[in-house]
Chain A
Amino acid sequence: MADRTALSSALCYRDPKAALTFLAAGFGFELVMLIEDDQGNLAHSEMAFGDALIMIGNEWTDDHRSPAAIDGKNTQSVHIHIATDCDAHCERARAAGFEIIMEPETQFYGDRTYRCRDPEGHIWTVGQTVQAVSREEAAAVSGLKIEGWT
């Protein structure tokens, strides 16, 4: 496929078709591909956001599970970086049934972020850069040794 970014996340859901609906409603992701078999089961799907894609699938092997199947545990999470209005993004997600587990807050590194859990338990973080913070400032405030800060 043309124009694909080098990294994409693939998420597992018990009900991937429901996920397509709530991810569109909550985050504004756009469905760009959906393949269903002759029983109406989802075989593959992709949603676009900006120049990135995520794949929404089912629990397609014994080693692929939705958090809903493993007591809510997450082993990876996807970060969404937006250009404008983190707070409005959060309200949209809340209205679409996402549980806000950390309300929007401006972090020492200059991003305003919030964290939410979707209806199947996947945890998402969302951030918007709201202040330019230098490496020295960030290191001084956090007490962390920071490398590779541009």
Chain B
Amino acid sequence: MTSKVYVALRVRATPARAFAVFTAEIGDWWRPQGLFQTTPRAPGRLAFEPAGDGGRLIETLANGKVFEIGSVLAWEPPSRLVFSWRQAAFPPDLHTEVEVCFEAVGEETRVSVEHRGFERVPAENAARHGFPDQALLARLAEFWQAQIRAVGAKVLGG
């Protein structure tokens, strides 16, 4: 089994719109966070490229270099998206997994993120910042809450 961090929030949009904003506009709403930095460089711009099955989640840095955060494992608009997630500091063979679901609740959409396997980051790895599992996973949950909040703000035209 792996650890699991799940967070959910409602956004004011249909699932189709929320899915589109999450994927096509990730470069606009993404909030880089030092604790979960993807590369040692200044944060770049994220994009799903190409958008759809077989795509990748990439980050284009200021110097033009591209870092691959992960690959798309499931692309099922408007309800579900799964991609792998790795940070540059991770051991080469370590991939964690992120599942995003979009579920209609009345006129809103409940956007949930489940990030699995982050506890596999080794104890001495820089990406862990010395945190024990529970603290690390709690911070990861807050990180994803901030991301979904940013999606919610983007949906409202923020």
Q: How many chain B residues have a CB neighbour from A under 8 Å?
A: 21
Residues of A within 8 A of B10 (CB): 30
Interface string of A22-40 (1 = CB under 8 A from B): 0000000011111111111
In the complex, the answer to whether A31 meets B8 with C-beta atoms within 8 Å is: yes
Q: Does B119 contact A (CB under 8 A)?
A: yes
Q: Is the CB of B1 within 8 A of A38?
A: yes
* Residues of chain A from 1 to 27 with CB closer than 8 A to chain B in the complex: 1-2
- A58 CA to B77 CA, complexed, in Å: 36
CA distance A2 to B9 in the complex (A): 13
Pair A34/B110 contact, Cβ less than 8 Å: no
Contact of A36 among B4, B142, B149 (CB under 8 A): B4
Query: Which interface residue of A34, A35, A40, A43 has the most chain B CB atoms within 10 A?
Result: A35
Q: Which B-chain residue is minimally distant from A31 (CB atoms)?
A: B8
Q: Are B145 and A33 in contact (CB under 8 A)?
A: yes
CA distance A43 to B118 in the complex (A): 14
Interface residues on A, range: 10 to 19
Task: Pick out which of these stretches binds chain A: B11-19, B62-70, B93-101, B130-138.
Answer: B130-138
Q: List B residues 93-150 near A (Cβ within 8 Å).
A: 110, 119, 133-134, 137-138, 141-142, 145-146, 149
Chain B contact residues, CB within 8 Å of chain A:
1-10, 110, 119, 133-134, 137-138, 141-142, 145-146, 149
Show the binding face of A for B, using Cβ within 8 Å: 1-2, 30-40, 43-44
